Structure formats: structure tokens, C-alpha cells
Chain A
Amino acid sequence: MTVLTLDHLSIAVPAVLCGLVIALPLAVVAHRVRMLRGVILGVSNVLFTIPSLAFFVLLLPVTGLTRSTAITGLTIYTLVVLIRNTVEGLDSVPADAREASLAMGSRPLRTLLTVELPLALPVIMAGVRVATVMTISLVSVASYIGYGGLGQLFTDGFQRSYTTPVIAGVLLTLLLAVLADGLLVTVQYLCTPWTRHRTTAARTKRTGAVPRTKPEEV
């Protein structure tokens, strides 16, 4: 069981990390170059519509019956969520912040790394969370090609007509997804101390606005 869980993670974690490594530069390009934005988002969207099982199978002649087949397929799946959220996050950065940084003499790359990306982090992390939960659930599909982590429990239970491993597999996958999600929330909380203050401020503002006073009532 421990082996299968570790196996599961050894497919899911590299997939999300590779996805991030590929998605971040692409998202920056999509954010800066308007013409390429449609192309990048469109291509990642089409790739996402391809069924996961079909994807693993289509990769077989290229990567062979190895663990990298599963990782490659899942990486491509994470791209659509990661790219879209990173672009949205970068879009949400106030132009003032970027311009202030540039005016203070930072080069564009430095501005990107120290101002834009950190400010976009909450939205990017939302994407990472979705991608992680989705990937953890999808790893089990790779059990058809022999690398499914906890998904092996499904094939095992199916072949032996025995429900216990299947239930265990489903529950463990759900548990793993919840734990990973919680971990990411914590990481985000620790990495973006400035949002904590702002969320409380926004919350009080929002509750303050609940009995919406219309002009004619004032």
C-alpha cells in the first residue's frame, strides 16, 4: 500500500512540476505577446480535450511502456490549467506596480520575477491546486499501461472480483488529493504574507456592504 502510494506520488509530482516548468514561460509569452496568446491557449485547450487513456496510448510508440509515458501525458494535461491561470494572474497585476518597478530602474526580467510573478501567485496557485488534484486522480488511468500507482488496486480488484482493494484505492486517492491540496494552501499562505492582511480587509469590506443601501433609500 505504501509502495503504491509512493508510486502514485512519483508520477503525479513530477508531472505537475514539469507542467509548471513548461507552463510558466509559455504563460509569460502569452501575457506579453497578444498575437501568440490565442495560439498558446488554443493549442493547450485542444490537447486537453484528448482523452487521457488515448493520450497514454498515443505516447506509447514515442516513450515506450515506461513511467515517463504516464508522466508526459499528465504533464500535458496540467498545461491548460496552469497556463490559463498564470496568464490570468499576470493580467490581474496592477499596471502601476509594474511601472513603479520599471521606473525604479529594475530590468523587465527582474520586474517579472520580483514583482509580477509574486503578485500573480494567488491566482497561479489556484491553478496549481486544480492541476494537482486532477493529476492525482488521473494517475489511476495509467494503470492500464501498468504504471498507475494506486490505480493498480483497481485492476487488481477487478481481476479478482474483490471490492476491498478498489474501495481502498478510491479512498486513498481522495485522501491523497485532499492532503496535497491542503499542503498547497499552506505553502501559498506562507509564501504570500501580504494577502493575509488584504483578505481580512476585503472581508470586512464585503460584509460591510451586505445590506446594500440603494441611493434612493439613503
Chain B
Amino acid sequence: MLQLLADLARWLTGPAQWQGPEGIAVRLLEHLEYSLLATLAGAALALPLGLLIGHTRRFAFLAINLAGFGRALPTVGLVTLVFLAGGLSMWPVYVALIALAVPVIVTNTYAGMTAVDPDVTDAARGVGMTGPQVLFKVELPLALPLVMTGLRLAMIQVVSTATIAAYVSFGGLGRYIFDGLAQRDLVQVLGGAVLVALVAVLLDLAMAGLQRSLFRNRPADAR
């Protein structure tokens, strides 16, 4: 066990390990690229949808059921399926990651919108605001904390799952896990796992910090 930890430390800190196209630095950047692109694309799809459902209160069943569906859908199966159907490209990875991000963001955006006090939106309409004005000047700012929580959750899940890029022969930190498993090289597998876990935890902390500094001027109950 101790020997393993020592090997792991050596693997993580070895200078050779960080250089070249197979190095940790490159894999780290690849991993971040996949995760950030997928989260952004997911947000671009899910935010308007969530806002629309929350604003009109129509198709609410969609927002609610999407969450359950998203939780139940096995991502590994989805990647494999799109890969077999579409061939070798980054598509399977992005499709699967976006499918993972969208439900979380839609549901949280919708939840944030429904949590807005109806008296407030009524008052906004009462002073003559148009629908879009109510949405962007009243509902969205009030719903923002929950929307951010949704984005954070989506981001973490996407970072965790981006390891599957390596499953369909692309890069990212998952490379070490899959290569290591194939080569029966436990140290490499553990190294990859530690790195992914670190990236996920650190990104979540960064997002939490960002969220806190964005909403610093809010009364405590709005958080």
C-alpha cells in the first residue's frame, strides 16, 4: 500500500510525465477542452429551454421528467451507441456529455424560475413590463443562484464523465485510466483517477467561489 502511494507520487511528479503529446499537461488541457465545450454547448441548449418553460409555465412536465430521465440514462451506453452508429469522431463524446448536462441545467433553471415569488412577477407586470422584460429583469436575476447550481452540477458531471473520451480512443485524462487498465499498470490507472478527481473538485470549488463573489451583494435569503 505504502509502496503503491510512493509509486503514485513518483508518477504524478516525474518531469518526463508532464512533457510531450502523451504528457499530463496535454491530457489535462484536452480534458478541460472536452468538458468546457460540452458544458457550454449544453448550457446554450438548456438555458433557453429552462427559461422558456419557467416563464410560460408550460411543458413543466418536460422539465420535471427530463431530470429523472437524465439520471437514469447510462452514459457509457450512449457513448458506445453513438460511436457504433456514427463512427470514429468526437461526436459520440460530445453527444453523451451534452445529454448529461442538459437535463440538470433545464431542471435547475426551471426550479429557480418557479421559486420566484409570483407577487414579484405580478408587480413587474403591473408596472407595465413586457413579457421579455419580466423574464430578463426580474425572473432571471432572482433565479440566478439556482441556475448557477445547475451549471455547477452539470459541469462536475461532465468533467467526471469526460474520461469516456478515452474509451472511444480520444485523449483526456481518461487515457491513463483506460491504458492503465489495459496494460495492468495500476499506478498509471490510479494517477489518472487522482487527476480527474482533483480537476473535478478544484473546478467545483472555483465555481463555488465565482458564485459567492457574484452574489455577494444579495440578501442572505436570496442565496
Q: What A residues does B186 contact at CB under 8 A?
A: 60-61
Among B76, B81, B174, the one with the most A-chain Cβ atoms within 10 Å of its Cβ is: B76
Q: Does A58 contact B (CB under 8 A)?
A: yes
Q: Does A112 contact B (CB under 8 A)?
A: no
Hey, what's the 0/1 contact readout for A141-153 against B, CB within 8 Å counting as 1? 1011100001101
Main SS at interface, chain B: helix
User: Which chain B residues (132-173) contact chain A, with CB distance < 8 Å?
Assistant: 156, 159-161, 163-164, 167
Complex partner residue of A57 from B164, B177, B201, CB under 8 angstroms: B177
Q: A61-B1, A140-B74, A177-B72 are in contact. Are A166 and B197 (CB under 8 A)?
A: no
Q: Does B23 contact A (CB under 8 A)?
A: no
Q: What A residues does B80 contact at CB under 8 A?
A: 154-155, 157-158, 166
Q: What A residues does B83 contact at CB under 8 A?
A: 158
User: Which chain B residues (53-110) contact chain A, with CB distance < 8 Å?
Assistant: 68-69, 71-78, 80-81, 83-85
Q: What B residues does A49 contact at CB under 8 A?
A: 156, 160, 197, 200-201, 204
Q: What B residues does A153 contact at CB under 8 A?
A: 77
Whether A181 contacts B76 by the Cβ 8 Å rule is no
Q: Does B4 contact A (CB under 8 A)?
A: yes
Closest chain B CB from A83 CB (angstroms): 17
Q: Does A170 contact B (CB under 8 A)?
A: yes
Shortest Cβ distance from A136 into B: residue:
B72
Complex partner residue of A61 from B161, B190, B201, CB under 8 angstroms: B190
Q: What A residues does B47 contact at CB under 8 A?
A: none
Closest chain A CB from B63 CB (angstroms): 16
Q: What B residues does A68 contact at CB under 8 A?
A: none
Q: What A residues does B81 contact at CB under 8 A?
A: 163, 166-167, 170
Among B1, B167, B197, B200, the one with the most A-chain Cβ atoms within 10 Å of its Cβ is: B197
**Residues of B within 8 Å of A, CB-based: how many?**
41
Q: A49-B204, A53-B193, A181-B68 are in contact. Are A163 and B73 (CB under 8 A)?
A: no
A145 to B190 alpha-carbon distance, docked (Å): 13
Q: A53-B163, A140-B76 are in contact. Are A130 and B204 (CB under 8 A)?
A: no
Whether B197 contacts A51 by the Cβ 8 Å rule is yes
Among A54, A150, A167, the one with the most B-chain Cβ atoms within 10 Å of its Cβ is: A54
Whether B78 contacts A58 by the Cβ 8 Å rule is no
Whether A143 contacts B76 by the Cβ 8 Å rule is yes
Complex partner residue of B160 from A52, A133, A144, CB under 8 angstroms: A52
A61 to B177 alpha-carbon distance, docked (Å): 14
A51 to B75 alpha-carbon distance, docked (Å): 13
Closest chain B CB from A38 CB (angstroms): 14
Q: Does A35 contact B (CB under 8 A)?
A: no
Q: What B residues does A54 contact at CB under 8 A?
A: 160, 163, 177, 192-194, 196-197
Q: What B residues does A53 contact at CB under 8 A?
A: 160, 163-164, 174, 177, 193, 196
Q: Does B181 contact A (CB under 8 A)?
A: yes
A60 to B69 alpha-carbon distance, docked (Å): 30
A214 to B160 alpha-carbon distance, docked (Å): 49
Q: What B residues does A51 contact at CB under 8 A?
A: 159-161, 163, 193, 196-197, 200
The 3 A-B residue pairs whose C-beta atoms are closest, nearest first, are A51-B160, A54-B193, A177-B72
Known contacts A51-B193, A55-B197, A57-B181, then 10 further A-B pairs from the complex at CB < 8 Å, ordered by chain A residue? A51-B161, A53-B174, A57-B192, A130-B71, A137-B75, A144-B181, A151-B74, A163-B85, A174-B69, A174-B73
Supply 22 A–B pairs (Cβ within 8 Å), ascending by A. A49-B204, A51-B197, A51-B200, A53-B174, A54-B160, A54-B163, A54-B193, A54-B197, A57-B190, A60-B190, A130-B71, A134-B72, A137-B73, A141-B75, A151-B76, A151-B77, A157-B84, A169-B74, A170-B78, A174-B73, A181-B68, A212-B118
* Residues of A bordering B, CB below 8 Å: 46, 49-55, 57-58, 60-61, 130, 133-134, 136-138, 140-141, 143-145, 150-151, 153-155, 157-158, 161-163, 166-167, 169-170, 173-174, 177-178, 181, 212, 214
